[in-house]
Amino acid sequence: MDEDADHVILSDDEDGQEEEVEEVNEAGKRKLTSKVWLEMKKMRINRQWKAKCNYCHKELASGPRAGTKHLASHLKICTLKMLKMKGGKTLSQPSLRMNANEDGNVFLESYTFDQEVARRELGNMLVLHEYPLSIVDHAGFRKFVHALQPLFKLHTRNTIRYTLPWVYLIYFCLSCSMQ
């Protein structure tokens, strides 16, 4: 990582590409008047202006001709912003859920959302019921999953295709050992 007075060069070891990031210097620049800039940070990445969300850190286009409507739209649907404004739940904060014993008694227990566990269970469901991988790209399925858990980042079928053979192998080995 290289540093100068006004910009930072980040090196990404995986693909060998370098990304130049320059933060906006307030002196001598036109004042940002839109309210979205209270929740976004303007920066220059690889000679292009970007706006970075303070909540989810997503980078959106931001230039002299880009406008701010798309930034305001993002802030309306930003899940992490909504969670922060509605009680401050985070990924690691436990919630309550109802569960039942084998004898039928219902009780409350705490749980913490885990992205990896949810992704693994999705793979198990696809293998167990032999669903097509394209189900994760269906708009209805995406809406359903978002209604159940807004924090769950649903992968595409291509991403699942590369991780699914391991799930299938484990499931197949467990089912063979039980027979």
Positive or negative: CA dihedral 139, 142, 147, 148: positive
Q: Where are the domains of the chain?
A: 2-85, 113-178
What is residue 28's predicted lDDT score, i.e. its pLDDT? 45
List the single range of 22-26, 40-44, 53-57, 164-168 with lowest mean pLDDT: 22-26
What are the CA-CA distances from residue 19 to residues 27, 60, 64 (Å)? 24, 16, 21
The per-residue pLDDT for range 8-30, each reduced to its tens digit, is 444 444 444 555 555 555 544 67
What is residue 136's predicted lDDT score, i.e. its pLDDT? 92
**CA 63, CA 43: separation in Å to the nearest integer?**
10
Q: What is the mean pLDDT of the chain?
A: 76
The per-residue pLDDT for range 107-134, each reduced to its tens digit, is 888 877 788 888 888 888 888 888 888 9
pTM of the predicted protein model: 0.44
What is residue 82's predicted lDDT score, i.e. its pLDDT? 75
What is residue 137's predicted lDDT score, i.e. its pLDDT? 92
Helices (H) and strands (E) in the chain, counts: 5, 8
- Residue in the block written with tokens 């590409």: 17
What is residue 109's predicted lDDT score, i.e. its pLDDT? 83
CA dihedral 118, 97, 141, 80 (to 10 degrees): -70
176: Cβ contacts below 8 Å, ≥ 6 apart:
none
- Contact indicator for 45, 51 with CB cutoff of 8 Å: no
